[in-house]
Amino acid sequence: MSATPDSPRRERVNPPPAESAKWFLSQPAAFHDGWMAEALAEARLARDAGEVPMGCVVVRRLGEEAVRVAAAHNLVEALHDPTAHAEALAIRAASVAVGDWRLTDCALYCTKEPCPMCGGAAVLGRLSLVAWGVSDPKRGAATVFGLFGHPGLNHHPATSSGVGGAAALAEIQAFFRSLRSGSSKG
């Protein structure tokens, strides 16, 4: 459907994704590590609830600063919902907090590489950056499916892998080790 002269037009108030992506990527490692630490705190909340320890935060660029606008952890078991991944929940909450589904001035920090569903949500939400700690060689949106750079998509967020990777990997490995030993807590 095309816009007509009578259709209300929405002015873009967010910076273009490429501009915000460059800004996020230009930040020092400590900046990214700090946001990943918050994602790891969310992952620990998931672990303590018996969920797979995945957590994330959505960070919004405001001028030359960044603020947290949403955070979430996996709630698949608690909600009996296969779509209740940390990333999907955080992107939904960020859209509500920002008041717009276009999150062009936002970055998503995840403890593990998003799956195709969550990667698709990041693309549809126009996030500027998707950063993760541990890559997923079995079902990763970038690693396996090349989703973030797919030529058929109209938005391509910048990506950064390995952010806080050692801590994220340790958290995930401890959780699954404890499952194998008979305990659901990490």
The closest of 139, 142, 170 to 43, measured between CA atoms, is 170
Torsional sign, CA 64, 23, 105, 6:
positive
169-186 burial, b if ≥16 CB within 10 A, otherwise e?
A: bebbeebeeeeeeeeeeb
Here the contacts of 116-121 (C-beta below 8 Å, separation 24 or greater) are 116/141, 116/145, 116/147, 117/83, 117/85, 117/88, 118/85, 118/86, 118/87, 118/88, 118/91, 119/145, 119/147, 119/148, 120/147, 121/87, 121/88, 121/91
Catalytic one of 42, 87, 113, 171 = 87
Contact of 31 with 67, CB cutoff 8 Å: no
Does residue 19 carry a catalytic annotation? no
Query: Residue 64 has what DSSP assignment?
Result: T
Q: Which residues are catalytic?
A: 87
